[in-house]
Structure 1
């Protein structure tokens, strides 16, 4: 195949950086089913030996998309011109990441996961990705380097408040390495997924969001690493809707 060919889809020229929604034609093929409706970014246009045009795309929410550029390691897909729908270029694009963090097997530590699951049932503004990362720290690391302007991390964090207390925390401007996030000395450790370490790793790999916020909920005193419980305690469960409203208010301000 040869690169840098010219392709037009529905009157929109496909160039590196063009955003598309995937509409694979494979029907029951497992890979096509996984890609249906996903948004992606065009990396290049290829022309095959018969003159057919194909797009090389990276799926936007694929944590492996930044493992390497062009022919290096990484997740890339070849799709036909009739398998994509161009997305508007004048709307917000990948502005805010809302990341749910936590271990659903450790009681109240699953707070962040439950919040983003609740948000998935509600309308989300364009330019906002709401993703359940659970304890997948490497996936979160790649996502933080994926071009977002703001990241909102949602997690349970013991800060000495009454169980179920929801707090909005922003890192100190003088804490560029994210050590403890500068969260007033709060210990943010999601059972092996330490957001401060993830942020430092993401920064080592490139750009991270200019603004990072934490929506934290005080867990009950019974929640520990040894807890094997898939239900949130009553006060933390009651705080989920409050956190959703808080985040939706933040999104309105960030996208204004």
Structure 2
């Protein structure tokens, strides 16, 4: 095994070109793990790192060994000790170039949630689909999470400036009424938040995200009053469907507000408290 690592250490060019920018030892980069990365990589998403070496595996693929720019134990990574040195493919690296470590542009996640088999409960999913077919707001990322609460909690570990949930929620109003909520996350008796694998409770998702280590500073929920959440028909009711376009416009406005707020440190909202 020692011979293998010795052989690997001697492989690879002095630098590679990523997005037209030469990247090699000493280059500052931003980490962008691929969509199917593990939880640990998600925590590192958006972090600034320094390239230590460019290495090539036996199949000819290039990998960059990096250490985190703000890691107090960075010297351990430079000494090739585990836990402080990470490997990423060229596709997972964003050269900083002239930006050289400036904060990354703000990103806001729009999460469409709900069960499409329960009538109007699929409102959030339909709004996400509507937004995906339109010209987006720079920095806005739209994802149809459906009832995948666990996936959403892990997605919130990325460096989002904010998140907008889109959901159907009965509040005793006329069907189709839109409401924007600032979630108040209550204290819980249980020590650990739990999320069903195939369930979606926004409050539980937010609490789990907090326990995993990160929760966006800005959280809004765009709710639509449902007319029916029965198993049939498998479609939105007329008053709810009529509000899909308006809800999409409202979501875009909220996203633009969040991105503008994130650019002004004094205007930042505190992250919701989850105990």
TM-score bin, normalised by smaller chain: 0.5 to 0.7
1:96–1:126 CA distance, 2 compared to 1 (3 A): same
1:162–1:212 CA distance, 2 compared to 1 (3 A): same
CA contact (8 A) 1:178 1:199 kept: no
**Alignment coverage as a number of residue pairs:** 206
Aligned to 2:56: 48
1:49–1:236 CA distance, 2 compared to 1 (3 A): closer
CA contact (8 A) 1:21 1:84 kept: no
Alignment partners' CA distance in 1, 2:177 and 2:131: 19
Normalising by structure 1, what TM-score?
A: 0.66
Q: Which residue of 206, 217, 221 maps to 2:213?
A: 206
Look at both structures and tell me which one has the larger radius of gyration over its CA atoms. Answer: 2
Describe the superposition over 1:108-145 as per-residue Cα deviations: whole angstroms up to 9, x where unpaired. 00000000100011111222111000011111011112
Which residues in structure 2 correspond to 1:128-207 (within 5 Å)? 128-172=140-184, 175=185, 192-207=199-214
Normalising by structure 2, what TM-score?
A: 0.62
Q: Indicate yes or no: 2:231 matched with 1:219.
A: no
RMSD: 4.0
SS in 2 for 1:17: strand
Aligned to 1:230: 234
Aligned to 1:242: 246
Name the structure where helix makes up a greater proportion of residues. Answer: 2
Q: Indicate yes or no: 2:117 matched with 1:109.
A: no
Unpaired runs of at least 5, structure 2: 1-7, 37-44, 66-81, 190-195, 261-275
SS in 1 for 2:155: helix
SS in 2 for 1:216: strand
Alignment partners' CA distance in 2, 1:117 and 1:123: 12
Unpaired runs of at least 5, structure 1: 23-30, 32-39, 58-70, 180-188
